[in-house]
Amino acid sequence: MPMRLRTSLGALALASAFLTHGTQAAPLEQDVTVTTVDHVAIRGTFYAAEKPGPGVLLIHMCRADADRATWSALARRLAETGVHTLTIDLRGYGESAGNEPPFTTMANFISFWRTTGMHDIDAGINFLTDQPSVDAEVIGVGGASCGVFLGIEAAARYPNIVALALLSGPFDAEAASQLAGLGGVPVLGAASEGDGRAYEAMKRVFQAAPHPGSRNIQYKGDAHGTDMFQTSENLQQEITDWFGFWLLR
């Protein structure tokens, strides 16, 4: 698939261009099961927009209490604005089968998700692009916490991923190297100022992102990943506007 190059028109142009699309009817929500190449059943919810259009995959945090439901409100917003959206439970989370190995070191954690765990992301992308209503050439990915490096990994694999929205790190040397090669992919990053390493990691994401339209938003407090939706009222709208601008063009 050819790489789609995007250029920034500035924040005011982003808002005005997005607003021309307006909102659509309430999305149709359908629970689905996708199977990975290693035969793990991954549960998800597909939020269908009213008309054919681009798609977004949302990746939740790798935390015991996290699952695809943490993205539900944002997924509905995106679908209402014309972006078909898929949320998934990663293996070992929510309703999905499989297991995540016990945490030993951050390096081992990242290695597992970047290899075995990426099968879940591949299955999600394949499901999304197989939908007749989804423009398979225009896909976005949103990721929180572990979803940051998973989203970057996905964009490095799939040239039809044309925009990323990433919340609260982590970000290692391999992710930095991958991101440096994604000149055609604008990145929206966000983190809380009190979120320690994740806050510093998201600053590095912004510094490494080569697309001139990339943005980094800093919030007060210490909320992590999609927990920021509870403390930063405008974040979901920022992400909705971001994908609306870069995907609905």
Which of these, 217, 215, 156, 221, lies nearest to 184 by C-alpha position? 156
The rounded Cα 190 to chain-centroid distance in angstroms is 12
Count CA atoms closer than 13 A to 61's CA, side-chain side: 18
Q: Cα 192 from chain centroid?
A: 18
Q: Report the alpha-carbon distance of residue 200 to residue 198 in Å, rounded.
A: 5
What is the chain's length?
249
User: How high is the pLDDT of residue 128?
Assistant: 98
**pLDDT, position 108:** 92
Place of tokens 């959206």: 85
pLDDT of 155 reads 98
Tell me whether residue 155 is exposed, middle or buried, using C-beta atoms within 10 angstroms of its C-beta: 0 to 12, 13 to 18, 19 or more: buried
Dihedral (CA of 236, 239, 245, 246) sign: negative
- Residue 159 exposed, middle or buried by CB count within 10 Å (0-12, 13-18, 19+): middle
What pLDDT sits at residue 1? 35
Q: What is the pLDDT of residue 3?
A: 30
3-state secondary structure of 123: helix
Domain residue extents for the chain: 11-247
Find tokens 């943005």 and name the residue.
215
User: Does an H or E element contain 115, and which?
Assistant: helix 106-115
Given 1.10.1060.10, 3.60.15.10, 3.10.20.30, 3.40.50.1820, which CATH number is that of 11-247?
3.40.50.1820
Q: Specify the pLDDT at position 249.
A: 84
Predicted pLDDT of residue 83: 98
pLDDT at 24: 58
Name the CA radius of gyration of the chain, rounded: 16
Give me the phi and psi of 135, to 5 degrees please: -75, 105
pLDDT tens digit at each of 249 positions of the chain: 333 323 233 333 344 334 434 555 677 999 999 999 999 999 999 999 999 999 999 999 999 999 999 999 999 999 999 999 999 999 999 999 999 888 899 899 999 999 999 999 999 999 999 999 999 999 999 999 999 999 999 999 999 999 999 999 899 999 999 999 999 999 999 999 999 999 999 999 999 999 999 999 999 999 999 999 999 989 999 999 999 999 998
pTM attached to this predicted model = 0.89
Q: Tell me what pLDDT residue 25 has.
A: 64
